Amino acid sequence: MPERTLCNCRILIVEDEFMLADEMKLELDEAGAVVLGPVGTVEDALAMARSEQRIDGAILDVNLGGEAAYPVADVLIARGVPLVFTTGYDGTSLPDRFKAVARCEKPTTIRLITQAIGRVLHE
């Protein structure tokens, strides 16, 4: 099971929907991950993406309170951090530079998101 490969992986959760962020945190905790966040704004996500010494992977909601989280994705990608977008938008709405980023379209399940981050961490 991919989620078992998350043991001791430091995963950043960037999600502005509290209930979804909390469920993700619980699922990742259960899988043995070390959860960073969750954070729900672009500003807080940028601060964490820049200041955390080690981030093994990230789950990033594309739309944070009406603001695109692309600057956060750019920082994470520049650091070599694998990430998964969660979004209600289809892939054609993402900027071309993010076409190769793994994506879970909402509505989705927490288990699918957890499996997706497991896959990108160990590709």
How do residues 62-85 score in pLDDT, each as one tens digit?
A: 999 999 999 999 999 999 999 999
Q: Indicate the domain borders of the chain.
A: 2-121
Name the helix (H) or strand (E) containing 20: helix 18-30
**2-121 fold:** Rossmann fold (3.40.50)
pLDDT digits over 5-23, tens only?
Answer: 799 999 999 999 999 999 9
The model carries a pTM of 0.93
Q: Residue 1 pLDDT more than 70? A: no
pLDDT digits over 71-123, tens only?
Answer: 999 999 999 999 999 988 776 789 999 989 999 988 888 999 999 999 999 88
Q: If you average pLDDT over every residue of the chain, what do you get?
A: 92
* Rounded-to-integer distance, Cα 18 and Cα 38, Å: 9
